[in-house]
Amino acid sequence: MNINSKTKRQLKIQNIIFYVLLIVVVILLAKFSLKTNVSADWTANNRHTLSETTTGLLAQLQDDITIQAFISTNNDYREDLESLLSRYQKYSDKLNIEYINPDFSPDLVRQHNIQQQGELVVSRGSQQTHVFDLSEQSLTNALISVSRTKEQWIVFIEGHGERSPFGKENYNLSTWGEQLKKKGFKFQALNLVEHSQIPTNTAAIIIASPERSWLDGEIGIIQDYIANGGNLLWLADPKTHQHLSALAEQLGLEFIPGTIIDPNAQLLGIDAPTFSLINDYANHPIGEATSSVTLYPKAIALEPSSTESEWQQLSLLNSQANTWSKATAIDKNMLLEFDLGVDSSGPFSLGYLLTRINSEQDTNEQRIAVIGDSDFISNSYIGNAANLELGIALINWLTQDDELIAIPVKTTIDNSLNLSRTQSMVIGLGFLIVVPLVLFLIAFLIWRIRRQR
């Protein structure tokens, strides 16, 4: 190529134009990046994307909520925390986020009793709660807790051997109680002999499988509470439901004698035939909030006592057709067989939801749930399948918080890569042979092209 002064001048002009255009493109891209925020979540379970429940809650926020993040600037979790909080701010301008370095703010650390790096303090007015782990579930539960416009008091009836939310034993309900606390609920135990009135700020009462008989006056207190529009969750069991037969009569329900036998539980590797497996839920917010099957160790079936009732009755938990109810006592080693004329054949309902409007002046819907098992939310079994989801959804519904359903934990299911032996060999040979060969061929072609010039 013959290079003269004219050619050199043209090359200089071309270079100047190229650099000018490059600078213009870089400036335009920078401005575009500042005004545009586009992201894509390619994880298998969308763990970097907020759930619809969270985004819906953020869109409904009416009051400003402050989130104080106590974390050092150089902490390893700082980037993850900022990423999580930025996703929340994207959907609401009601969130005021403050990052506080605990090393330089000892007064605030003592004031809020901060216990660890990355701890969040979520507050709205005088309401305040702490978040200790970086998860959508915990943070959204905290937002739900401080967003409640009134205190939601749950009253657990005691004095007859009921299961307790304060007891740590396997048969008690402390795990469920802790989850209710995280949702912003407050609860107390009430002995009807010592206190003859239900507190007026009670959102719902819970009767969790009493083992001893009630006094007529105690039953009368509950009946009056229901007659006046109170909400109730009654957890019954095959051997304890008879203590409150008068209550069942008032609700228009009756229990089918015996314990449900469900052969379908063997599909989950459960050998005990008294475990009932439910995956058929009513078309209802509670059913929608329950993502998978629920398990009931020893359940009793329910049915309406008459076709005419002042309650709107909905069967929430429906068993399979091949289930049956063993009317006689069950021995651990006995061979369970269907006894024609004694036992009852399925399908059954393990739970009913009752609703009604008490008067034209009171437009609030009275809500009652009767479940034929109390073991499913006990400390022993609440972690099985979707039992916890159902237990939380029941309380949200009873307290008129239908939209505040539990948010599922997003497990990291795409961190591990499982390869077959053939796939491993292909990848290994690819890096050992194919990639070096391709690089060699590219280098050889470049060398040949230069030689031909």
* Lookup result for tokens 């003269």: 4
State residue 237's pLDDT score: 94
The tokens describing 171, both together, are 């048969």
> How long, in residues, is the chain?
453
Between helix 78-89 and helix 136-147 the angle, nearest 10°, is 50
Residue from 50, 52, 54, 88 nearest 69 by CA: 88
The span from the CA of 237 to the CA of 250, in Å, is 18
DSSP three-state, residue 101: coil
DSSP type of residue 430? I
Task: Report CA-CA distances (Å) from 285 to 52, 140, 252, 282, 440.
Answer: 15, 19, 23, 9, 63
Res 180: pLDDT: 87
Alpha-carbon distance of 130 to 114, in angstroms, equals 9
pLDDT of residue 377: 95
Please tell me the distance from the alpha carbon of residue 21 to that of residue 342, in angstroms, as a whole number.
90
Contact 230, 365 (CB under 8 A): no
- pLDDT of amino acid 350: 96
Question: What distance in Å separates the CA atoms of residue 55 and residue 49, rounded to the nearest whole number?
Answer: 10
Q: Can you identify the CATH homologous superfamily of domain 150-330+339-398?
A: Class I glutamine amidotransferase (GATase) domain (3.40.50.880)
Residue range(s) occupied by CATH 3.40.30.10 in the chain? 52-144
The 127-131 sheet, strands edge to edge: 95-100, 65-70, 119-124, 127-131
Q: Is 230 within 8 Å of 205 (Cβ atoms)? A: yes
- What is the CATH code of the structural domain delimited by 52-144? 3.40.30.10
Beta bridge partners of 204: 154
- pLDDT for 443 equals 87
Query: What does pLDDT average to in each consecutive run of 10 residues of the chain (453 residues)?
Result: 72 87 89 71 70 82 90 90 90 92 91 91 88 85 78 90 94 92 86 90 94 94 93 94 92 93 82 89 90 92 86 94 88 77 91 86 84 95 91 90 56 58 83 86 86 76
Residue 351 structure tokens:
């739970």
CATH 3.40.50.880 in the chain is located at 150-330+339-398
Closest CA to 344 of 324, 368, 369: 324
The CA-based diameter of the chain, rounded to the nearest angstrom, is: 115
